[in-house]
Structure 1
Amino acid sequence: MADNHTKPNLSQSQAADIVNKYYKLTPSQLRTLPSYDDQNFYVVTVEGGEYVLKIMNSVHTQDPTLVELQTYVMDFLHENGIPTQTAQKTTTGQTMFLEGIDCGSGVQKYLVRLLTYLPGIPISEVPFSPQLLYEVGRTAARMDIALTEMKHPQLNALQREGFIWSLSSIPLLEKNMKVLEGDPLLEVVKSVLHQYKTTVVPQNSSFRKCLIHGDFNDLNVLVQANKSNKYKISGIIDFGDMNFGCYVYELAITITYMMLEHLNPIEVGGAILAGWESVFPLNAAERDCLFWLVLSRLCQSLVMARFSVTLQPENEEYLMISTKKGIPILRKLFEIGKEQVEKVWFQSAAQYNDRNTSDQL
Structure 2
Amino acid sequence: MSQSPDSLSSPKPTLSAEEAVVLAESRFGVRGTAYQLTSERDANFRIRTADGAGYVLKLANPAEEEAVTNLQTMALLHIAQRDPDLPVQRVFPSLSGRHEEILTDAEGRPMVLRLFSYLEGTPLHQVPRSPTQRRNLGAHLARLTCALADFSHSATHHDLQWDIKHAHRLWDLLPYVEAGARRGLVEQILRNFDEFALPAMPQLRAHFVHNDLNPYNVLVAEEDHDRIAGILDFGDMVWTPLVNDLAVASSYQLALEGNPLEDVAEFIGAYHAVLPLEAREIDLLYDLIAARMATTICIASWRASRYPENRDYILRNAPRAWAGIEAFARLPREAAQAQLRRACVA
**TM-score of the aligned structures, taking structure 1 as reference length:** 0.87
Q: Deviations over 1:200-219 (max 9, x none)?
A: 12333442222211111111
The residue number in structure 2 matching 1:237 is 232
| Unaligned 5+ runs, structure 2 | 1-5
CA distance in 2, matches of 1:4, 1:297: 20
CA distance in 1, matches of 2:123, 2:225: 15
Matched residues, number: 338
AA at the equivalent of 2:277:
L
Check whether the contact 1:333–1:341 (CA below 8 A) recurs between aligned residues.
no
Structure 1 position 311, deviation (Å): 2.3
Q: Which is worse superposed, 299-308 or 280-289?
A: 280-289
Q: Which is worse superposed, 278-287 or 292-301?
A: 278-287
Residue 303 and residue 230 in structure 1: after superposition, are their counterparts in 2 closer, same or farther (change >3 A)?
closer
Structure 1 position 230, deviation (Å): 5.0
2:262 is the alignment partner of 1:267: yes
Structure 1 position 257, deviation (Å): 2.0
Please identify which structure carries the higher helix content.
Answer: 1
CA distance in 2, matches of 1:5, 1:147: 29
CA RMSD of aligned residues (A): 2.2
CA distance in 2, matches of 1:297, 1:193: 10
The residue number in structure 2 matching 1:123 is 124
| 1:1-361 matches, cutoff 5 A | 2=7, 6-27=11-32, 29-60=33-64, 63-79=65-81, 80=83, 81-101=85-105, 109-150=110-151, 152=152, 155-160=153-158, 162-180=159-177, 182-225=179-222, 229-259=224-254, 265-347=260-342, 350=345, 353=346
SS in 2 for 1:111: strand
Residue 180 and residue 251 in structure 1: after superposition, are their counterparts in 2 closer, same or farther (change >3 A)?
same
Check whether the contact 1:43–1:52 (CA below 8 A) recurs between aligned residues.
yes
| Unaligned 5+ runs, structure 1 | 354-361
SS in 1 for 2:197: helix
SS in 2 for 1:110: strand
Residue 2 and residue 242 in structure 1: after superposition, are their counterparts in 2 closer, same or farther (change >3 A)?
closer
**TM-score of the aligned structures, taking structure 2 as reference length:** 0.90
CA distance in 2, matches of 1:225, 1:17: 31
Q: Deviations over 1:237-258 (max 9, x none)?
A: 1111111111211111110023
Structure 1 position 20, deviation (Å): 1.9
Residue 21 and residue 4 in structure 1: after superposition, are their counterparts in 2 closer, same or farther (change >3 A)?
farther
Structure 1 position 180, deviation (Å): 1.9
Check whether the contact 2:122–2:222 (CA below 8 A) recurs between aligned residues.
no
SS in 2 for 1:99: strand
AA at the equivalent of 1:141:
A
